[in-house]
Chain A
């Protein structure tokens, strides 16, 4: 099998080209020794099977960024038959140097000048034949979004795949340094690629006059986020309900009958353990899907860069960049996709810091718990204020966390970000991406969550003598940490349930007090005083959102130590805040 690398600068339409060539068949996969995942897919070119590997977008083969190191590692460790170099035809002045570096490394290349439509609108003139001659490799001009120029591209790729040459490793020692590459590129482009002296003013400038306005920009940003957020709920929540109903139906209509002949304890394990886990995982799928579509829209339309522009002043003080703010806000819907969405940040330290603060965003599952508790502990007049205070708490905790860790995960000050022209996101492209993301996440999270749910089941069902279960023992063992924060021993297992997923926390509480969920409010008031109920609520808000988030952090950081830090830190903070609250209330009384 042949192997082709897809290379190019960030934002040149590389993944659009990739999707156009490979469609749904792509796989997101781990590459040995890398801290990022690479997407690859197989396709038939020139009668041969070719594996196409999508490499991260880079500016400079000799650069120091994380992605640049990744690309160098891959090019050195793996033999490629060819590189498909995707460049933005409207920005050849700054993109050709990378192409020259790749050509110098000795890998056969096909140069794909993408965004032909935008280059045309800008009035750029290009002499393809001259450029082809000067570069000495096939050069095609395409628009991946509109599939313009596709036959020529396919012909060039087929010819490349059909060639009998053997795959070769890149010779990185032959790659010219940045400045040399820039000078060489200038010479190659002289009199064959021309930008008009005055660029025509387009739609982008008019829209930016509003969206990047000094004082209207921020309100418009928050309005955009509010719309996006509502959309996630409006579309995602009903879908989630639908999936949940379907799964419940399957459980009562089929599963329970099938399992009926089995002993009660096995039935319970399978239904309340394994099936509960499966449903928890599956109900995540719709919200993830919707989120990825919306996120892709924000990113592909070019708005993310504007959001970064508007919020960077504040975020830079926290050691973050503006895009982190968008992820933090998305986390208020669901932490899992927000964690996965940090992938737009290409610097590892920035990503880690952002991943550390996202779990404090009060997500919709925790909101359910808060609304329930606020409803029973406060008057209808007080409840909204309590809710607001808890939202503020989640912001403060996130900011505090960033402040504590910003030196450890210090980002690079040399933060530059392209502000692309506004573009209409491609529907097909977004769908393919969302499906691949959801699939990859489910593969990973399912085992994690299944294990968690089964563990909780075991803890609450394994007898430990004296008519007690492991859960009771757990409460007693945990007493020294639970007593100072006023959390009753029987709630230890509820915290364990909440660790798996906040969606099942209220149900778990109902089981603990042996009441139907409708009677839970009264039961809680009966068993808990105001201060311990609030302490439990605060703890619930601040500690680990759910196992899926932990799974997402594990997947994205590729580091057990970091995942442990994230979990440990949030539990510690939760305990400290609950402690301060509970002891404070007692001092005041």
Chain B
């Protein structure tokens, strides 16, 4: 298990847990990121910029500061 900001780009993973406030959780959940959901980390912006994730056919960006609060594991 590792936090999403440390996840290797280009790999597929599964969300384990989200250590977020109620408000932040709703925002993240609206993009399909909830415990158990599968995602694909497509890219990371340089200079500590945001990550691009793919959940289902939805692609979105989120900041690293938020990603560090999301625990994930590599999908087998």
Q: Give A contacts to B, CB under 8 Å.
A: 9, 59-60, 62-65, 90-91, 93-94, 122, 124, 178-179, 182, 195, 199, 212, 214-215, 305, 308-310, 312-314, 316, 322, 412-421
Q: Give B contacts to A, CB under 8 Å.
A: 20, 22-32, 34, 43, 45-50, 52, 55-63, 65-66
- Chain A residues near B56: list those with CB within 8 A: 91, 93-94, 195
Closest-by-CB residue of A relative to B58 is A91
CB atoms of A63 and B26 under 8 A apart: yes
Q: A60-B26, A64-B22, A178-B25 are in contact. List 7 more A-B contacts (CB 8 A).
A: A182-B34, A195-B57, A312-B50, A312-B61, A413-B65, A415-B50, A418-B59
CB atoms of B58 and A94 under 8 A apart: yes
State A122–B61 Cα separation when bound (angstroms): 21
CB atoms of B62 and A415 under 8 A apart: yes
State A9–B60 Cα separation when bound (angstroms): 14
Q: Which of A94, A312, A322 contacts B55 (CB 8 A)?
A: A94
**Least CB distance, B46 to chain A, in whole angstroms:** 5
- Chain B residues near A90: list those with CB within 8 A: 57
Closest-by-CB residue of B relative to A199 is B57
CB atoms of B26 and A416 under 8 A apart: no
CB atoms of A59 and B27 under 8 A apart: yes
- Chain B residues near A414: list those with CB within 8 A: 20, 23-24, 27-28, 66
**Least CB distance, A309 to chain B, in whole angstroms:** 5
- Chain B residues near A195: list those with CB within 8 A: 56-57
**Least CB distance, B23 to chain A, in whole angstroms:** 5
- Chain A residues near B20: list those with CB within 8 A: 414
- Chain B residues near A313: list those with CB within 8 A: 45-50
Q: Which of B24, B32, B65 contacts A94 (CB 8 A)?
A: B32
**Least CB distance, B39 to chain A, in whole angstroms:** 12
Q: Which of A182, A309, A420 contacts B50 (CB 8 A)?
A: A309
CB atoms of A60 and B50 under 8 A apart: no
Q: Which of A63, A212, A310 contacts B30 (CB 8 A)?
A: A63
Closest-by-CB residue of A relative to B52 is A419
Q: A90-B57, A94-B31 are in contact. Are A413 and B26 (CB under 8 A)?
A: no
- Chain B residues near A322: list those with CB within 8 A: 50
- Chain A residues near B23: list those with CB within 8 A: 63-64, 412, 414
CB atoms of A308 and B61 under 8 A apart: yes
**Least CB distance, B22 to chain A, in whole angstroms:** 8
State A5–B25 Cα separation when bound (angstroms): 27
Q: List 7 interface pairs A-B (beta carbons < 8 Å), by A numbering.
A: A94-B55, A195-B56, A313-B47, A416-B31, A416-B66, A418-B59, A419-B60
**Least CB distance, B17 to chain A, in whole angstroms:** 14
CB atoms of B66 and A413 under 8 A apart: yes
CB atoms of A94 and B59 under 8 A apart: no
- Chain B residues near A59: list those with CB within 8 A: 26-27, 30
CB atoms of A316 and B63 under 8 A apart: yes
Q: Which of B45, B62, B66 contacts A310 (CB 8 A)?
A: B45
**Least CB distance, A513 to chain B, in whole angstroms:** 50
- Chain B residues near A182: list those with CB within 8 A: 29, 34
List 7 A-B pairs, minimum CB-CB distance, nearest first.
Answer: A59-B30, A313-B49, A414-B24, A94-B32, A313-B47, A419-B59, A64-B23
Closest-by-CB residue of B relative to A181 is B29
- Chain A residues near B48: list those with CB within 8 A: 313
Closest-by-CB residue of A relative to B49 is A313
**Least CB distance, B58 to chain A, in whole angstroms:** 5
- Chain B residues near A412: list those with CB within 8 A: 23-24, 27
CB atoms of A309 and B49 under 8 A apart: yes
CB atoms of B59 and A420 under 8 A apart: yes
Q: A179-B34, A312-B45 are in contact. Are A416 and B60 (CB under 8 A)?
A: yes
State A309–B63 Cα separation when bound (angstroms): 9
State A314–B43 Cα separation when bound (angstroms): 18
CB atoms of B62 and A416 under 8 A apart: yes
CB atoms of A60 and B30 under 8 A apart: yes
CB atoms of B57 and A91 under 8 A apart: yes
- Chain B residues near A305: list those with CB within 8 A: 61
**Least CB distance, B47 to chain A, in whole angstroms:** 4
Closest-by-CB residue of B relative to A205 is B42
State A91–B60 Cα separation when bound (angstroms): 12
Q: A91-B57, A313-B49 are in contact. Are A416 and B34 (CB under 8 A)?
A: no
CB atoms of A124 and B26 under 8 A apart: no
Q: Which of B24, B34, B46, B60 contacts A417 (CB 8 A)?
A: B60
State A415–B23 Cα separation when bound (angstroms): 11
**Least CB distance, B3 to chain A, in whole angstroms:** 15
State A534–B65 Cα separation when bound (angstroms): 44
Q: Which of A60, A122, A308 contacts B57 (CB 8 A)?
A: A122
Q: A91-B56, A309-B61 are in contact. Are A62 and B26 (CB under 8 A)?
A: yes
- Chain A residues near B27: list those with CB within 8 A: 59, 63, 65, 412, 414, 416
**Least CB distance, A329 to chain B, in whole angstroms:** 18
**Least CB distance, B53 to chain A, in whole angstroms:** 9
- Chain B residues near A64: list those with CB within 8 A: 22-23, 26
Best-buried of B30, B56, B59 by chain A (most CB within 10 Å): B30
Closest-by-CB residue of A relative to B43 is A212
- Chain A residues near B50: list those with CB within 8 A: 308-309, 312-313, 322, 415
**Least CB distance, B5 to chain A, in whole angstroms:** 13
Closest-by-CB residue of A relative to B55 is A94
CB atoms of A310 and B49 under 8 A apart: yes
**Least CB distance, B4 to chain A, in whole angstroms:** 12
- Chain A residues near B34: list those with CB within 8 A: 179, 182
State A5–B60 Cα separation when bound (angstroms): 27
**Least CB distance, A102 to chain B, in whole angstroms:** 14
**Least CB distance, A181 to chain B, in whole angstroms:** 9
Closest-by-CB residue of A relative to B59 is A419
State A322–B45 Cα separation when bound (angstroms): 12
State A389–B26 Cα separation when bound (angstroms): 45
**Least CB distance, B14 to chain A, in whole angstroms:** 15
Closest-by-CB residue of B relative to A316 is B63
Q: Which of A93, A94, A312, A420 contacts B49 (CB 8 A)?
A: A312
